[in-house]
Amino acid sequence: MGHPERTTVLISGGGPAGIVLGLLLSRAGIEVTVLEKHADFLRDFRGDTVHASTMRLLDDLGLGEKFRRLPQGRLGNLQIPDRHGSPVTVADFSRLPEPYTYVGMVPQWDLLNLLAQEAQQEPTFSLHMESESLSLLQEHGRVAGVRYRSRTDGVERELRADLTVVCEGRNSSLRQQLNLPEVQYPVPFDTWWFRLPRHPDDRQEVRIAPLIRGSEVLLTLHRTDYYQLAYLAPKGSDPHLREEGVDSFRARVTALSPDFADRVGALSTMDQVHLLDVRLNLLRRRWAEGMLCIGDAAHAMTPVAWGSTWRSRTPWPPRGSWLLLYSAGLSRSEIWRGSSDVVCCPPARFRPFSGRSTGR
């Protein structure tokens, strides 16, 4: 065991929630350390939609121009078929205020790299890759940090902090250690992600096009150089699908979308089909003394509810002021009870986040 390390705010999880929070806190002059267990951000089938509200937030942070240089497509609307198979527009993003009248389809690893590089310009920001949080440190009835393992040398270390923010996603082990009260809502389906190649003569527009047959749904995300597909079927079907094998799965895809018959051969094994255990849950209390849960660690929702979780309606406070963590749905009293010794804000600058998004 190495010597204990120390920071002001410890963030466990280097996804969008963790990296953005680290950037915001470090710009406020707060010492922050982010622990991310992987060696990079390059992982398939992550949420790659960037909503209009998020793009405006990137503008507010001075990152709009850099963001627009990233490879991306633009989704102008969302359509689903009616019972006769005709497309019905259920979301028309062109009605949003200019200039962001679309949803950006951006590989999440590109966005995370941009945000991490920007955060690393701040002297109070530290990002530890290949560092996996193992357990919470608890002292005198409050969370005091985490014990983590570096995958580069295998050494376990302690990192102590005034505030620990858990944003490791829906399978967070740190959240489970505190047994926070949780509401689970039934979800009748799971999702299997996979990709198929695009041909040069395919339509070049970026679309999300669901196809429905009985209890099966095929959701197609049109990317610039490939198709990202989501196959939806009744929850618990994964063992049956894998027992059937890849030939049967290819037949299911072709039955839903005959246009893919000439390319389903790119699926050579069911290892290329990745199960997402779809969940819809919500922590009744998202904090403990010295700890706060945000993102999917606090409320797993995607892909049941497609859209951003929150957005800020306020300009970024100038350097030197403190950021108030006002997670969507979290009351002011909960924040102060969970982290009053770390997170504060002059009352005149207090503005709650609405928890709603114009990108929905």
Question: Could you give the CA distance from residue 170 to residue 279 in angstroms, rounded to a whole number?
Answer: 8
| pLDDT value for 253 | 96
Percent of the chain with pLDDT over 90: 47
Q: Are 140 and 289 a contacting pair, CB within 8 Å? A: no
Q: Assign domain 5-71+106-183+280-349 one CATH number from 2.40.30.170, 2.40.10.220, 3.50.50.60, 1.10.1740.10.
A: 3.50.50.60
Q: Are 198 and 299 a contacting pair, CB within 8 Å? A: no
Q: How far is CA 114 from CA 14, 44, 102, in A?
A: 13, 17, 21
Phi and psi at residue 241, to the nearest 5°: -60, -40
**pLDDT, averaged across the chain:** 80
Does 143 or 336 have the greater pLDDT score? 143
| pLDDT value for 205 | 63
| pLDDT value for 224 | 66
Note the pLDDT tens digit of each residue in 106-122.
Answer: 888 899 999 999 999 99
Burial label for 320, CB within 10 Å (0-12, 13-18, 19+), is exposed
pTM for the complete prediction? 0.77
| pLDDT value for 4 | 67
Average pLDDT, stretch 75-81? 79
Note the pLDDT tens digit of each residue in 205-239.
Answer: 666 767 888 889 898 877 667 888 999 999 999 99
Average pLDDT, stretch 1-25? 88
| pLDDT value for 202 | 78
Q: Are 263 and 197 a contacting pair, CB within 8 Å? A: yes
Average pLDDT, stretch 58-84? 86
β-bridge pairing 49-50 and 103-105: antiparallel
Average pLDDT, stretch 277-292? 90
Spell out the residues 6+ positions from residue 238 whose beta carbon is closer than 8 angstroms to its own.
190, 192, 275
Q: Looking at 218-327, list the stretches that DSSP marks H as alpha helix, in order from N- to C-terminal side.
A: 238-244, 246-256
| pLDDT value for 323 | 28
Neighbours of 122 (CB within 10 A): 19
| pLDDT value for 228 | 85
Minimum mean pLDDT range among 144-148, 223-227, 267-271, 348-352? 348-352
Does residue 65 have a pLDDT over 90? yes
Question: Could you give the CA distance from residue 21 to residue 323 in angstroms, rounded to a whole number?
Answer: 10
| pLDDT value for 197 | 93
Average pLDDT, stretch 28-55? 85
Average pLDDT, stretch 198-211? 74
Note the pLDDT tens digit of each residue in 311-325.
Answer: 333 333 222 222 223
Average pLDDT, stretch 60-66? 94
